[in-house]
Structure 1
Amino acid sequence: MEFQRDTRMSSLYWAMEVEAQPTPTVRSHRTVREVVSATTGDRTTPLLDQTALIPSPPHGRAMSSRPPAPTLRGFLDAHFASPDDLPAAPALAELLRRECAELDASLRRLEAHLAAAAEAWLARSAGARSDLARIRTTRGGGRFVVGGEQEAAGTATDVGLPELVREIRRIDNIRLYAEATLQLEALVGNLEDAAFSIVRQASKLNRKSNEAERKQGKLLHTVDAVRDIERELVRISSARPLWTNLVMAVDSRVDKTLAILRPQALMDYRALLASLGWPPPLSSPDTDKDKYSQIPNPLVLMNEENKDRYSQSFQALCALQHVQGIRELRQRQTAPVTPALADFNYYDRAACFENGLWAVDELVHPIASRMEYHFVKWSEQPEFIFTLVYKITKDFMDGVDDILQPLIDQARLVGLSAKESWVSGMVKMLVGYLERQIFPALDCSNQDQTTVGKPEVDSSWMHLNDLMISFDKRMQLLADSGIQKAACLSERLSRSLSVFSIYSEHPEWLQIWADAELSSAQAKLKSEMEDETRWSCDGQHDQLGHMENSFKFLLSTREDYKAPPVSESVVKTALSMIERGRALPNRGMQIQYNRSSSVRFLNDFFLVLRDRCEALQLSNTALEDQSLSKICVAINAVRYCENVLREWDEDTTFLDMGPEGSLFSDGTSFLVKLGTNYLEQIMSCILLEFEDLSWEYVQNIGSWSAQIALDDQILDEENLVVSPGFVASLDVLTDRTSKLKQYLNSKDFLDLWRSIAEGLDYFIYSSIRWGEVTFSDPGVIQLRVDTKALLHTFRPLCSRPEAFLPFLSESLRLLTMKKSDAQSMLEMLMDDTESEKCLRHQGFYHVNACQAAKILRSRNSGDNLVGTKS
């Protein structure tokens, strides 16, 4: 490599010419070279040619090349060394006269040139002074300037001053740009000189300790030079964001230098490790005797001199990696203003080491070559591969921590752990081998038409991933150093410490694993889903009294929901897949895995629940007990799964599963709709069955009331029985209610019986032809008895079932009012403005004014009901 100081800043020249190009509309009175010369004095640099500032000799003549004599005696001694030289005196005198004449002519020309330049400068100065005077006079008050002079002053104010400001600003920017260019030229030159010295010293192949120390010192000097350049580039990027060409030119040259320095530094580091005896043998002498002993660590066995050499080499390599990481971090930043170098926070400093320490990785590489010799023999037994990697990592852990951690602390690499770096390097080594040898073979087996879909192929994938999960947990325990880490740093470390990082580069392998998990789960539950005993609800044949004692509304377990055992098996299987997916190092891979495994598995089970409900085909006229039991069990399974999915959504593990909402939101919505639909079907079947059995009775309400004899026994409400046409429907309703309470979970049963009660209330009330029939006193009493029987059906479920049959309750209140009160209410109901207010005042909140008037007119004009309460 050759560093030529006269040509290495050509890229900076180009950037300077592009970014400091004079504005074409404003005439520049000074060139860039004159500006730089004026601002830098007699400082020399390859960027600028200061000889352009030296006056040229007179036209047509060249200056005498013979230097003048220091003194007259010396001049005479030079020309008249002996008496023989005296005849040449006239010629010498003529030469001197001619040269004096030429010098006098040159002096007169210079005086004339100086006079012309001074005159021109005075003219420009006078013009500028005159313009400024006119500007001042115009801004102070234009009354003292008249005619054309006032117009000229206005033109100078409007046009001359802005151009003057822009010209001054442009010249100042050129000066600043040139200063920055000169400073960067010096810094980059120092860096290239130091790098050239390191490479030239390395070519001598001198391995003396003092030479190695000098080389490490020069390497640290280059790191300091890069830091200085970075500070200057950060300052320029912050203050002058448009000087991108200059920054890019410097970055290009610094990157080329670092591309030469890093291999050289790594080569020297490897040579030092080899001289220290690294890598050690992977087995100890006691292994053949079936005795386990820890492998000796050459880093622990170093003497003081070697420790000093290794410490210097390690810290120099860490410093080089740190400064290169800082450069990459600055180059990746997309913000328009780059923050100051001193403002880089702790996490940004650690970001450059997220792929591991170079010095630690160089400890791993020579061990990897020896370990892979054994890996090849265990391609069919990957558990041995993981065991060997864990053993080697553990055997060297204490030595690495004792030797390297103090060096990391001395290098001021805050937050970095030697344990984590060592474990991360070993994990990356294992990932590389799995990526080259193990996974491609499994992938070929999965794509082979003769083996695709076979259980042994899926078993191989799952077995390998089980080994990876166990290995990751053990390695995480080794790497745990007790340092409190922020979330973003922990996530970066988890990626580097996980074997599952292999899936980040190969998402197709992640999909194969998810498919294998799904196939295995479906195969395990296939026989269980076909067993009808697994679909039966535990305790569904218990006595009703026992069910009442266990009746509650805070449900959490499968038993609380009365769900079948198969639903719990499905949930546990899905949860096991989710737990296995948590080993993946980032959220994106976890989402992809879960959507292809656990989510698909659950959705398939939800479709099975829907198919079982649809296969029952509930009748509109008769609801069979077996169908009612099966559909209740299916609804219980739906509600149990829905509750489990909602709990998972509230878990912090699933909160960050993507911007599109919950991972299980679609499944939850499907279950909610499925459960609601079939609860409505049950309610519809019960209401239709009740309507079919009580249709004749309901149609005759009011017509039979006139036929009831008026005697004291009939008017006694306590001695009356339920109407014969109403008994069968009440018996069926009681049976259905008790079975639903036995089969259905308590929450859905609560909503269901209340909805049934409200439906029956509206059905009976709307079926009575109010205003067309007339209720006698015995007819009203009979209606009260029948309504009480209906309320008695729901009495075990609620202390005030009247609240869920509001239309019948309010209708009976209106029918049993005193004649005077009924007449007064009718009169108030005739007033449209007061009717609703009157009803609310009397406690009627469901029937409106028109309905209340019809009910009151359906009452005959007899006296109060005997034996009733008004």
Structure 2
Amino acid sequence: MTSSASPPVFTNVHRRHLRSFLDGNYKTTADLLKTQSLLFDLENDCLCLESDVTLLSDKLRCSIREWESRLGDVNEALVRERFDLLGWNEIRLKSMKSKGDAKAKLEVLAQEINRIETIRIYAETTLRLESLVGDLEDSASQTGPNDFRSKNEKFQSAIKSMEDIESIVVSLVMKNNNNTQRRTQTWARLIESVDSRVQSTLSMLKPQALRVHRSILSSINWPPPLASNTESSSAITVPELPNPLVLMRGDTKVQFSQSFLVLCALQHLQNRRESRKHQLNNSTGSLACDLDWNLWAIDELMSPLATRMEKHFCKWSEHPKFVFALVYKTSRDFLDGIETVLQPLIDRAKLVGCSVKETWIVSMVRMLSTYLTTRVFPELVIHCTTTMVDDDHEVISKWLNLIDLIISFDKRMMGLANTGILPKGMALPSDFTEESPLPMLLYSIFQNRKPWLQVWAEMELRDVEGKLKNKAESDTSWVIVTLSDDSLSSTTKSDVESELTMFMLSSREDFKAPPIVDSVIKISWTMIDRCRTLPSIELRLEFIKSSACVLLDWFYQVLIQRSERKTPEMNPNSDATTTVIMEDDMLVRLVTCINSAGYCESVMEEWSEDLSIIDLSQTHGLFKKEIKNMLKLETDCLEDIMSSLLLEFELFSRDYIRDSQRWEVTVTANDEQLEPDNISRLFMECLDMVTVRLRRLKSGLNSKDFADLWRSIALGLDHFIFNSIMLNKMKFSKLGIQQFTVDMKALFCVFRPFCVRPEAFFPYLSDYFRLLLSVSREESVFFTERLNMNDERIRDELLIIGVSHLSVKQVKKILHRRILDA
């Protein structure tokens, strides 16, 4: 193709592209033969490109003409804008004046636009819901063939409509949570209207679905026979009950599965609606628990089965153990087949977290609970509260036997729920106390029946009342094992060391408590253990306070009566000693009360730390009152023993203390060899009395209380003897000091079996000896002068010689009354 155009000017880029083009097409000499065809292709490409350029030029001209036509409009608009800009200042001033009005108008306009949009959305939503609800009502009311397939299709169509309606309603609730009250009320009326129509339709669909499901259950011979017609108790000995659910085959199994799924779907939708209403009303309660544990399909299995089982229950009104055995056996025999057949259907229905095994067990428990609460317990409660007398043990036995059966039944049913079916012949361990949900326990019958709980606690107390009263009146129940008096005749280092290990008391033998205490503790713990599975903390707390705490308080009153000391009437002709000295029988009573109270206190402290009742003890102060009472009784008895012993010592030592001539005897230079070797005769009786008392207390009291008691007695004797010396203004010569030292060392030896240094528990007497024995005549004169001068440094000098408990005033009196020998 020839052209008149000037040859093109090639740049370096063009040259590179041309070179690559030629290299690509002329690789060998044979490619020169293809020149003509290559030229033809290039000419065709050029023609195509020229036609494209012509077409684009035409389009460009058309576009230019269009924009030229619009240019006039643009110019006019720019002119108008120019005039607007020129008058902007005036317009701005006017707009500033009317700014408030414009803002208000804009807000009104925005609200109006929002209202119109809301009305549009409301209208669209209403029309959509009306269409869906209409379809649902048409599906529920339509009549057609009476075959299963047509009915199932109708149910499926209705379920689909209900799911769509519920999804729209839920979205409306979520969108309108933050809207104004007026708008929320508008949507609430719409939702309420829809819910009312859906509920009305569901009320029609549910009975229809239940009739279909019941007809299928009837066709598979559900429920199966529970027992043969031989003996009334044969139901318990039947090897295994047949399960028609496992025997289903073919179309029957398919129809049962579809009917089961329809019921699950309808219930799931109903639960969604109820849960949504529950949350919308900000309510609280146990709705979630009820929705989780109740399945309409399982209820349909239970209803005819319960009717058949109640016929057997009526025969065993006097033998409730057969009732519990039959319910457990039925639950166990059907559980395997129900879980195998129904659990896959539950999963297909997308009921998340629903276990058909637990639901079946809960339904069986509810069935038995209904029977007990309507037929058994009301009669027992009426008989217990109206016609019962003190010697009527039959009602108590029936009630407690029923409680034992309930406890055993709950453990076995929990075993089925948690560990599966137990092998035949295997029982649950006796300490099986795993926590369980509320509906799975028969103990839930006491949830809203607190009067029944009080009757139960009363029956527990009446059952043990006679037994414990007889034991409390028997002397053998209060006997404790004691050591002989000779066991304390000597002391060794091993005795002192072994005593350190005796402060860790745990058992009744360690506390030396009588056998009756063990009975009270075991019975109280049995009462606590029997209420462990009550469904709430409040019920457990109320039962424990009405049973175990009452029993412990009764035992506390028994201890109070035993510890009361009968003071004989004062007789002018009788010796005053008889009114002070504690009889051995009374001493034994007090020792027994101390040991019993200490053991009860220790056990209750352990109960308070038990994990199963720690919430009760920490939150509600369980056993706080009882522990406080036992501590007070223990302290009072110890104080009574100590005060009695000190008063008895005062009587025995009265003449010894008042014999002032004994302490004022002086010696001459010719009599210096006279030194006291023996204990004063009058003081021997005091030492014998204290020794005998301490031995008896040591053999009877537990080690912890005895250690506190003998220390208190030692401190009491120390105060009494020292104060007697100071009050009587006794004067001591050197010989008197030596004799008094011998007597007090003998007193210290009485306490030596209980510690290595008994003088440490006589601080005032020890300081008294140090002051009299370590201070010479010259030092005594020196100290007296310093004391008269009120020298403040005298306290430090007294500490140097070991006097730390006596005051400066007491030291001055003691040195003043010292008789210095010539």
TM-score class, shorter-chain normalisation, is 0.7 to 0.9
> How many angstroms does 1:285 deviate by?
7.6
Question: 1:35 aligns to what?
Answer: none
Task: Show the counterpart of 2:758.
Answer: 801
Give the distance between the partners of 1:711 and 1:836, measured in 2 at CA. 35
Compare 557-566 and 255-264 and name the one that shifted more.
255-264
In structure 2, C-alpha distance between the alignment counterparts of 1:168 and 1:855, rounded to whole Å: 108
Letter of the structure 2 residue corresponding to residue 808 of structure 1: L
Deviations 1:197-224, CA, capped at 9 Å, x for gaps: 34214x5473332540452353144135
TM-score (norm 2): 0.76
Residue 685 (structure 2) pairs with residue 725 (structure 1) = no
The residue number in structure 2 matching 1:432 is 370
Q: How far has the Cα of 1:183 moved from its partner?
A: 6.5
For normalisation by structure 1, the TM-score amounts to 0.72
Residue 64 of structure 2 corresponds to which residue in structure 1? none
**Letter of the structure 2 residue corresponding to residue 420 of structure 1:** E
CA contact (8 A) 1:501 1:585 kept: yes
C-alpha displacement of 1:415: 3.5
How many Å separate the matches in 1 of 2:591 and 2:518? 16
- Which residue number corresponds to residue 758 of structure 1? 715
* Alignment match of 1:633 (pick from 587, 592, 602): 592
Alignment counterpart, residue 601 of structure 1, candidates 548, 551, 555: 551
Could you tell me how far apart the structure 1 residues matched to 2:116 and 2:436 are? 47
Q: How far apart in 2 are the matches of 1:848 and 1:335?
A: 78
Match of 2:478 in 1: 535
Deviations along 1:575-596, one digit per CA (max 9) or x if unpaired, are 2222222242222222222222
Task: Give the C-alpha shift of residue 841 in structure 1.
Answer: 6.0
- The question of 1:301 aligning with 2:253 is answered no
Partner residue, 1:642: 601
2:215 is matched with 274
C-alpha change, 1:726 and 1:539, in structure 2 (3 Å) is closer
Contact 1:350/1:415 (<8 A) preserved? no
Q: Secondary structure at the match of 2:622?
A: coil
1:145 match: none
Q: Is the 8 A contact 2:140 2:204 kept in 1?
A: no
Counterpart of 1:621?
Answer: 580
C-alpha displacement of 1:311? 3.8
SS in 1 for 2:362: helix
Displacement after TM superposition at 1:429 (Å)? 0.9
For residues 395 and 287 of structure 2, the distance between their equivalents in structure 1, rounded to whole angstroms, comes to: 45
Q: Please state how far the C-alpha of 1:532 moved relative to its aligned partner.
A: 0.9
Query: 770, 784, 787: which one pairs with 2:744?
Result: 787
Whether 1:667 and 2:626 are equivalent positions in the alignment is yes
**Residue equivalent to 2:173:** 233
| Structure-1 residue corresponding to 2:47 | none
1:209 alignment partner in structure 2: 149
1:518/1:710 CA distance change after superposition, 3 Å: farther
Partners of 1:282 and 1:243 in 2: CA distance? 60
Q: Is the Cα–Cα contact under 8 Å of residues 500 and 585 in structure 1 kept in the other structure? A: yes
1:216–1:312 Cα contact (<8 Å) kept: no
Matched, 1:565 2:511: no
Match of 1:200 among 123, 126, 141: 141
Quote the offset at 1:244 in angstroms. 5.2
1: distance between equivalents of 2:669 and 2:120?
122
1:518 maps to which of 438, 443, 461: 461
Superposed displacement of residue 748, structure 1:
0.9
Unmatched tracts of structure 2, length 5 or more? 1-83, 422-432, 569-577
Distance in 2, Cα, partners of 1:187 & 1:352: 33
Map 1:851-870 onto structure 2 (within 5 A): 851-861=810-820
Query: What's 2:54 paired with?
Result: none
Tell me the distance in 2 between the aligned counterparts of 1:712 and 1:180. Answer: 132
Deviation at 1:796, TM superposition (A): 0.5
**Is residue 763–residue 805 contact of structure 2 (8 Å, CA) maintained in 1?**
yes
Q: CA deviation at 1:626?
A: 1.8
- Provide the rounded CA distance (Å) in 2 between the counterparts of 1:491 and 1:239: 48
1:131 and 1:795 map into 2 onto residues whose CA distance is: 117
SS at 2:169's partner residue?
Answer: helix
Bigger CA drift: 449-458 or 543-552? 543-552
Q: Which residue among 393, 396, 400 is the counterpart of 2:334?
A: 396
Distance in structure 2 (CA, Å) of the matches to 1:737 and 1:771:
28
Q: Please say if 1:737 is aligned against 2:680.
A: no
**What are the superposed Cα offsets for residues 771-804 of structure 1, whole Å, 9 maximum, x if unpaired?**
9544322222222212211111111001111221
**What is the CA-CA distance between 1:570 and the residue it aligns to?**
1.3
Q: Are positions 1:612 and 2:552 aligned together?
A: no
Structure 1: which 5+ runs fail to align? 1-124, 138-151, 340-346, 484-489, 864-870
Instruction: Look up the match of 1:580.
Output: 530
Which of 190, 193, 196 is the matching residue for 1:253? 193
Partner in structure 2 of residue 446 of structure 1: 384
Q: What's the counterpart of residue 681 of structure 1?
A: 640
Conserved 8 A contact 2:653-2:682 = yes
- CA gap of 1:832–1:329, structure 2 versus 1, over 3 A, is farther
Shift of 1:646: 1.3
Retained in 2: the 8 A contact 1:198–1:219? no
The structure-2 alpha-carbon separation of the partners of 1:469 and 1:786, relative to structure 1 and needing over 3 Å to count, comes to: same
- Aligned residue-pair number: 702
> Is the 1:286–1:292 contact (alpha carbons within 8 Å) kept by the matching residues of 2?
no
Contact 2:335 2:357 in 1 (8 A): yes
**SS of residue in 2 equivalent to 1:538:** coil
Q: 1:241 to 1:645 in 2, by over 3 A?
A: farther
Deviation at 1:350, TM superposition (A): 6.1
Distance 2:125 2:795 in 1: 90
Between the aligned partners of 1:546 and 1:593, the Cα distance in structure 2 is 51
- Rounded to whole Å, the distance in 2 between the matches of 1:183 and 1:828 is 112
Distance, in Å, in 1 between the alignment partners of 2:705 and 2:580 is 23
Shift of residue 749, structure 1, vs aligned partner: 0.7
Q: 1:431 is aligned with what amino acid? A: S
Deviation at 1:695, TM superposition (A): 2.0
- Is the CA contact 1:704–1:779 (under 8 Å) kept in the aligned structure 2? yes
Cα distance in 2 between the residues matched to 1:253 and 1:222: 14
Cα RMSD of the aligned pairs, angstroms, is 4.0
Q: Give the direction of change, closer, same or farther, for the CA distance of 1:283–1:769 in structure 2 (3 Å limit).
A: closer
Cα 1:325–1:452 change in 2 (3 A) is farther
Q: Which residue of structure 2 lines up, in the alignment, with residue 96 of structure 1?
A: none
**Are residues 726 and 326 of structure 1, via their aligned partners in 2, closer, same or farther at CA, if it must alter by over 3 Å?**
farther
The corresponding residue for 2:663 is 705
* 1:694 partnered with 2:653: yes
Q: Which residue of 1 aligns with 2:260?
A: 314
Could you tell me which residue of structure 1 aligns to residue 37 of structure 2? Answer: none
Q: Deviations over 1:229-268 (max 9, x none)?
A: 2243144336768865346435533543236416623641
Question: Taking structure 1 as reference, are residues 196 and 187 closer, same or farther at Cα in structure 2, changes over 3 Å only?
Answer: same
**Per the alignment, in what secondary structure is the counterpart of residue 566 of structure 1?**
helix
For 2:537 and 2:651, the matched residues in 1 are separated by: 57
Residue 770 (structure 2) pairs with residue 813 (structure 1) = yes
Tell me which moved more, 381-390 or 294-303: 294-303
Given residue 569 of structure 1, which amino acid in structure 2 is its aligned partner?
S
- CA separation of 1:696 and 1:223: change in aligned 2, threshold 3 A: farther
Distance 1:163 1:811, change over 3 A: farther
Give the 3 Å change call, closer, same or farther, for CA 464–204 of structure 1 in structure 2: farther
Aligned to 1:108: none
- Specify the alignment match of 2:67 in structure 1: none
CA shift at 1:726, angstroms? Answer: 1.6
Q: Indicate the percent of aligned positions where both proteins have the same amino acid.
A: 36
The equivalent position to 2:539 in structure 1, one of 589, 594, 598, is: 589
